[in-house]
Structure 1
Amino acid sequence: MSKSLRLSEKWFRRGLWLVAFLFAWFLTGLGSTIVGDLPKVEQVRSLDDFMDPQRTPQLKATIKSAEREAEEAQAALDQAQLKLQTAQANNRAARETYSNWLATRRATERPEQDEELLRRTRELDGLRQTEREALAAVERQQQIALDARQAQQRAQTQLQDLREQARDSYESALRAQELRVFGYRLALTLPLLLVAGWLFRKHRKGASWPFVWGFIIFALFAFFVELVPYLPSYGGYVRYIVGIVLTVVGGRYAIQALQRYLERQKQAEALPDTQRRRELDYDLAQARLTKNVCPGCERAVDLKDGKTDFCPHCGLCLFDHCGHCHTRKSAFARYCYACGTAAAQPTTDAVPPAVQA
């Protein structure tokens, strides 16, 4: 920023740059929301959409039915196993009691206990029968659970086969959908980049430059940063190719601009000294002088010695003397800093610096 600008003008320029960044920030937020929501224009597809529409529901129903039967069989099996354990325990206890009684019976040799022997034997037979029935119930529930699990596994295997058959079609459709969504995003961001290039070329120095620069920052961010998370595997090619094209175009523009600038400088250096100083911008001239640079040819000049009045490179008058007090002053100053007398010949057109910028 030029050191010769008025203090209020400096703050106004800073405020305008703040407007540019705020404008870019809000545009970026809006663009991010739009780019993120673009996939919603496409119907969300899943692998089931490409599977056999008749067999798939049947197999899923079979799997659910088998799962339900397996759960019920497992619950019944748990109950049957509990009953079996109870019957086995009762049988073991009865046999122990019977063995003890039978040992006593043999020791006493009492014939009147033959009826008791028969009764206890019948009770043991009944307990053994109960145990066998409980064991049979457990085996039945185990068979039911096994059948249900096998039916579930068969249905899942068939369903997996259908999924594998539909996977190629699904992935092909997914790639096509991804390409379409990428096209939507590219169709949104690439024109923004082109518009930004046009604005940079035509309006970057206009009165509305804060909005122009804000839009340029937004367009660059949207294409080269915001678009990155949504790029498919091949999307990087587009981004890098566009970057290369922009670099080549911008480089050619810069080279041509440099050549035009050097040509203008040559033409300007051929003009009379008074005309050259009159055509130079006042603020720009003052800023270059403070940096020990010639305002005309922009080459370095040692201005600290207090003796150099003309540029040794292009001959432009840099310092002259006041016509009233003869004090050495800048040839671009509008008034003498020692006595305040106006310069004899104005060195710039009477155009406010804000309008020139």
Structure 2
Amino acid sequence: MLKSLRVPERLFQISMWVISLVFAGFLIGLGGKVVADLPRLEEPPALDQFADQAALSQLRERTMAAHKRQGELDSQRERLRLEQAAAGNAYQSADETFRNWLSTRKATTDPAQDPEVVRRTHELDDLKGRQREAQARVEAVDRDALAAEQAQQAQQRELDALLEAARKPYEHARFVNEMRVFGARLAVTLPLLAIAGWLVARKRRSEYWPLMRGFVIFALYAFFFELVPYLPSYGGYVRYGVGIVLTAIAGHYGIRLMRRYLARRQEIERQTESERRRTLAADEAIKKLAVNVCPGCERPVMTTGDAATNFCVSCGLKLYDRCGACETRKNAFFHFCPTCGTGAAGAPTADASVA
């Protein structure tokens, strides 16, 4: 469409689109801030709010104490296991030393070393006893840790049951909260969309249309990017209800526009050829003829074999004629002949008139 415009007009159209987009960008930024702050109108509900607060507090205190006790037992178990490992290592080292010493004694068969055998045997017995004591302490801590873990699991099950009992009223409250927030988004977005539809229907010929077009872009963005993605997942009634309303509105105005268009076409077709020609803008007529569409009835231009098409076969509008000076076949809506420059009504050329 821009190719048929003069260079200044083309630049003006581009600059107006830039203004529309910039204006829409600022509106989108402001609208995004407003829509983002809508959920702050009220705090979303929490599951804890709908449980027995006294029982919930006691259970959580007991659970925290069990967690703390479990941590202490784990630390104690690790420490005792290190002590057990150290006692085991000491016993194994002493046992290995004793066995080596016994081998040496058997080789020397020195009876004077018998008291040493007894002493070392007692030392090994002491080390073995310490190892067993360390093992017993570890086993005791393991029993305590198991009991603490079982108690903690029981408390957690009790806590889960308490919260599960509160889930139904919580889900209802969350649904109401989401619907209120969505209703606020809807209350902000739908009027914008309605205003945008009214501007498109009534103000497209206004000299302030570039700014209005920016508002229309903003309204469409607000609807498709600020409202639709936040439709509640279980709000099917809202989703389809909004879709039905918008489709009905669009269909209503579409049918009205089509009826007005058909009535206008019928009225134009009842006019004489000269009356229709006076109502047609030359630029628009030239653009339509360039794509083989009749400017009068907007039907495709039909041809009959090799014969040149000078009139529309549907409405009889003259599409092509001949120059009064050079007889060149030309578009009937040209103001001047493209060959000799003679005016369409047989007037002299532009250069001649200037001269």
Q: Same fold (TM over 0.5)?
A: yes
Aligned-partner Cα distance in 1 for 2:75–2:242: 66
Cα 1:80–1:140 change in 2 (3 A) is same
Aligned residue in 2 for 1:352: none
AA aligned to 1:210 is P
- For residue 227 of structure 1, give the secondary structure of its aligned residue in structure 2: helix
- For residue 333 of structure 2, give the secondary structure of its aligned residue in structure 1: coil
**Which structure 2 residues correspond to residues 247-262 of structure 1 after superposition, within 5 A?**
247-262=247-262
Q: 1:272 offset after TM fit, Å?
A: 3.9
Aligned-partner Cα distance in 1 for 2:268–2:97: 127
Q: 1:203 offset after TM fit, Å?
A: 0.7
Aligned-partner Cα distance in 1 for 2:95–2:302: 122
Aligned residue in 2 for 1:202: 202
Please say which of residues 63-72 and 129-138 is displaced more in the overlay: 129-138
Cα 1:185–1:285 change in 2 (3 A) is same
Q: 1:82 offset after TM fit, Å?
A: 4.4
Aligned-partner Cα distance in 2 for 1:94–1:219: 88
Aligned-partner Cα distance in 2 for 1:51–1:195: 46
Cα 1:305–1:206 change in 2 (3 A) is farther
Aligned residue in 1 for 2:353: none
**Residues 24 and 218, structure 1, Cα contact 8 Å, conserved in 2:** yes
Cα 1:134–1:314 change in 2 (3 A) is closer
**Residues 87 and 131, structure 2, Cα contact 8 Å, conserved in 1:** yes
**Which structure 2 residues correspond to residues 263-342 of structure 1 after superposition, within 5 A?**
263-299=263-299, 300-302=301-303, 309-319=310-320, 330-337=331-338, 338-341=340-343
**Which structure 2 residues correspond to residues 59-208 of structure 1 after superposition, within 5 A?**
59-84=59-84, 93=94, 134=134, 137-208=137-208
Cα 1:199–1:143 change in 2 (3 A) is same
Aligned-partner Cα distance in 1 for 2:283–2:146: 94
Gaps of 5+ in 1: 346-357
Higher-RCO chain (CA-CA 8 Å, sequence separation at least 6): 1
Aligned-partner Cα distance in 1 for 2:161–2:140: 32
User: What is the percent sequence identity of the aligned residues?
Assistant: 46
**Residues 2 and 284, structure 1, Cα contact 8 Å, conserved in 2:** no
Q: What do the CA deviations read for 1:172-213 (whole angstroms, capped 9, x no partner)?
A: 211111111111111121111111111111112211222323
Please say which of residues 271-280 and 120-129 is displaced more in the overlay: 120-129
Q: 1:278 offset after TM fit, Å?
A: 2.1
Gaps of 5+ in 2: 348-355
**Residues 46 and 170, structure 1, Cα contact 8 Å, conserved in 2:** yes
The TM-score with structure 2 as length reference comes to: 0.75
**Residues 44 and 177, structure 2, Cα contact 8 Å, conserved in 1:** no
Aligned-partner Cα distance in 2 for 1:95–1:322: 126
Aligned-partner Cα distance in 1 for 2:242–2:174: 25
Aligned residue in 2 for 1:55: 55
Q: 1:290 offset after TM fit, Å?
A: 2.9
Aligned-partner Cα distance in 1 for 2:236–2:217: 21
Aligned-partner Cα distance in 1 for 2:336–2:60: 94
- For residue 166 of structure 2, give the secondary structure of its aligned residue in structure 1: helix
**Residues 67 and 152, structure 1, Cα contact 8 Å, conserved in 2:** yes
Aligned residue in 1 for 2:10: 10
Aligned-partner Cα distance in 2 for 1:323–1:256: 44
**Residues 70 and 145, structure 1, Cα contact 8 Å, conserved in 2:** yes
Aligned-partner Cα distance in 2 for 1:141–1:237: 59
Q: 1:140 offset after TM fit, Å?
A: 4.3
Aligned residue in 1 for 2:232: 232
Q: 1:284 offset after TM fit, Å?
A: 1.5
Cα 1:76–1:209 change in 2 (3 A) is same
Please state if 1:242 is matched with 2:242.
yes
Q: 1:238 offset after TM fit, Å?
A: 3.3
Q: 1:91 offset after TM fit, Å?
A: 6.8
**Residues 325 and 342, structure 2, Cα contact 8 Å, conserved in 1:** no
Q: 1:2 offset after TM fit, Å?
A: 7.1
Q: 1:133 offset after TM fit, Å?
A: 5.0
Aligned-residue CA RMSD (Å): 4.1
Aligned-partner Cα distance in 1 for 2:119–2:232: 86
AA aligned to 1:232 is P
